[in-house]
Chain A
């Protein structure tokens, strides 16, 4: 039952509204009872490495679950496979390469840096750099402008007093302030 559930999930956009709505509800966050006691390695260091690796590997028939979180049979197979490779002396990198050769980049929850992902990995820096320049621009180039806000204010709320004070200090007339509107 579980296998069918997970493979149906792969197809996503299939027809059949009610059945699918129900299926989608059934898929709603399956309780994850992942690692079974018989999978756990005797060597705690190797087991810790296996757990860390498992969290980076996608259960390829599930929806957004790592093999560490999923109770799908395939996830269990992959967990055991990861542990076998580790026991036979593979490095973490070799384990990942082995799985990528088998399932493609899709299996990696932390995508590798490359032609298809440089925008993704560059995003945080680009966002910070672009935003930082913009903030600098705003702080440097701020002018006393008064296009729209002068049209408001029948009475002066306390916030606007600061503005008036500011105008007085700057010594410049508020070009758009109309006397009749105060």
Chain B
């Protein structure tokens, strides 16, 4: 019954989305204002019906209704309740429904803007409606989550045990909030092209959506990497798998978009480029969705290898990307920058940043699709794996880290390169010294060391500029902190987070220590400065799995430090094993232990690793995400703008007129 209600809600959501998409555009052509107004209620209706469908699917999962195929395939009566809920999106049908729900949520947000706004937001709303209709039709035609089975089996086949994990329960929603959030900038881009209006006001309308999407995507990617790190049992966090690349490419393009929006908003420059990035970012998000589901690049993440779905998504891709780029080619040449570009200025630095981000994105794209291309064009099967990406992509990351400091120290409009670089001299000298010393110690790992030096430069430069503005050692620092615009905080946090995350990636990726031994209970092994003693291995039982828990005693130099547990679980329904690594996170790095098979004579396989600075990856990513969300605070309407900024600045001991070198 509830499943049928869900199905009906989906159909109604499709009708509402079609109305939302078609009528305003048609009305726009005929100049009928009343008709155009109807898009808003239609958007809310589409949101409500999609939410209803999602609630229905959640309900049948929660009560374990095994007459619904989706529940049978992805649930089990003994599964913990929290994973019954997360199981809703742990499969193709449910995840695409979540995708569409988030799309309609963003539609609702645009609709709220469209109330007070003019034609731009209303046209964007229509575009959003068309995308929603495309995906709702996709669900109804190829991926119905409410299909029934008769007779209903007594129990389900359980969710993949690897997905029964808190990190992976929340990874997809964040990732989709990011992916799908970029639909709003896309919709505004198309609307901007239709109206021929891409300017500072356009950038202001787009920025909150782009910022929110970026923050969620950052957190989503980090959650995925974190999950891989602790769950897969060998400390890997990024494998350059096609599907990981699929989430990383929109992140790179979206980061470029955020920066170019900032330049457009402040200086009115590069309107066409910002439009292009908005189109590119969402196109890459769609390609990501397509990659996961079509099976064209089968990877460990592939959800549903089904040609019918692949062809449908390919069709959506062709229409969305082909259509938008055609429109772009026709309309964009009419767009002009509103001001002159000085070679030495913040906006030029942003152009450079965009070059490196989009260039890196292009390299990832080429590497991801090259095997397909080589097979079709040359008939040869080749692999493009992690060693290629590390070699070809990471230099772009290095360049980005290099320009962060000097770029954000430059003033808008016309910067003073000498003065800006002079401000960063301490940061430069310290990071150069660090790099030289580290090079002398680890010359075999020169690439990673130089990367670390660049990350240090980016981080220290960000701190320098932050301290220069806040001047905590002088009176009135509190006033200066409250007077600093949200975008300044946002930028500082995001840049600092990136530098920290880069440190963590380089430390854990390039300097791991490892020891793999057979260990009998009572014996031990050494890794780095740690002595690891296997005290005992206990069998146990979880709600839907059997488990073996190893208890290790960790000491260093003969001094006992703590106990650490690592687990191995067996899920009988799927016949699968998972590892739960024992991780002790310290500032200097993680001690990482896993328990493997038992061999009758030699004992248990124990793998002990030390991943230096690994914790910085997660801390850095969290700070970046926070930076993105803090930036939302500076958007009028979300927060009342600081009252009388001139007075606040005066109180802070700053000149009352906005300095030409506006920070942030």
Q: Which residues of A contact B (CB under 8 A)?
A: 1, 9, 12-14, 17-18, 20-38, 40, 55-56, 58, 63-66, 69, 104-111, 115-117, 119-121, 123-124, 127-128, 131-132, 134-135, 138-139, 142-149, 151-153, 157-160, 162-163, 166, 170
Give the complex CA separation of A29 and B160 in angstroms.
10
Q: Point out the residue from A28, A69, A115 that lies within 8 Å of B234, measured CB to CB.
A: A69
Closest Cβ neighbor of B236 among chain A residues: A69
Partner of B196, one of A31, A146, A148, A153: A148
Stretch of B329-337, B498-506, B624-632 lying at the A interface: B329-337
Which chain B residues numbered 267 to 308 have a C-beta less than 8 Å away from chain A?
267-271, 295, 298-307
Taking a contact as CB atoms closer than 8 A, the residue among A13, A22, A55, A142 that contacts B73 in the complex is A22
Q: B412 to chain A: closest CB distance in Å?
A: 8
Contacting pair A21 B303 (CB below 8 A): yes
Q: What residues of chain B have their CB less than 8 Å away from a CB belonging to chain A?
A: 73, 91-92, 157, 160, 162-163, 196-201, 204, 228, 231-234, 236, 239-242, 265-271, 295, 298-307, 334-341, 343, 348, 351-352, 355, 358-359, 362-363, 366-367, 370, 374, 378, 380-388, 391-393, 395-396, 412-413, 516-518, 574-579, 594, 596-597, 602, 605, 607, 658
Set of chain A residues within 8 Å of B575, measured between Cβ atoms: 1
Give Cα distance in the complex from A36 to B236, angstroms: 17
A22 to B74, CA, bound (A): 9
Q: Of residues A28, A30, A31, which shows the largest number of chain B Cβ atoms within 10 Å of its Cβ?
A: A31
Q: Is the CB of A144 within 8 A of B381?
A: no
| Neighbour of B388 across the interface among A18, A21, A109, A152, CB < 8 A | A109
- Select A20's contact among B270, B305, B597, beta carbons within 8 Å: B305
B366 contacts A123, C-beta separation under 8 Å: yes
In whole Å, how far is A125's beta carbon from the nearest beta carbon of chain B? 10
Tell me if A147 and B338 are in contact (CB < 8 A). Answer: no
Contact A109 B160 (CB under 8 A): no
Give A9's nearest chain B residue, CB to CB. B298
Given A127-B363, A139-B343, A149:B199 Cβ within 8 A: yes
By beta carbon, the residue of chain A nearest B233 is A31
Chain A residue with Cβ nearest B234: A32
List A contacts of B393 (CB < 8 A).
Answer: 124
Partner pick for B374 among A64, A108, A116, A121, CB 8 A cutoff: A116
Q: Which residues from chain A contact B388 at a C-beta distance below 8 Å? A: 109-111, 120
Please tell me if the beta carbons of A28 and B160 are within 8 angstroms of each other in the complex: yes
15 additional A-B residue pairs with CB within 8 Å, beyond A31-B232, A121-B392, A139-B348: A12-B295, A20-B306, A21-B306, A29-B228, A55-B386, A64-B239, A110-B391, A124-B395, A128-B355, A135-B351, A138-B341, A138-B351, A139-B351, A146-B338, A147-B334
Pick the residue among A23, A24, A33, A123 that contacts B363 (CB under 8 A). Answer: A123
Residues of chain B within 8 A (CB-CB) of A17 are: 304, 306
In the bound complex, CA of A121 to CA of B374 (Å)? 13
**Minimal Cβ-Cβ distance residue in B for A170:** B340
Q: Once the chains bind, are A127 and B234 in contact (CB under 8 Å)?
A: no
Contact assessment for A162 and B267 in the assembled complex, using a CB-CB cutoff below 8 Å:
yes
A162 near B413 with CB under 8 A, answer: yes
Contact yes or no, B232 A29, CB < 8 A: yes
Nearest chain A CB to B227 CB, angstrom units: 9
Across the interface, A120 reaches (CB within 8 A) one of B162, B236, B366, B597, namely B366
Whether A157 lies near B201 (C-beta < 8 A) is yes
Q: Complex: how many Å from CA A108 to CA B385?
A: 8
Across the interface, which residues of B come within 8 angstroms of A111, CB to CB? 382-384, 388
Q: Which residues of B contact A143 (CB under 8 A)?
A: 336-337, 340
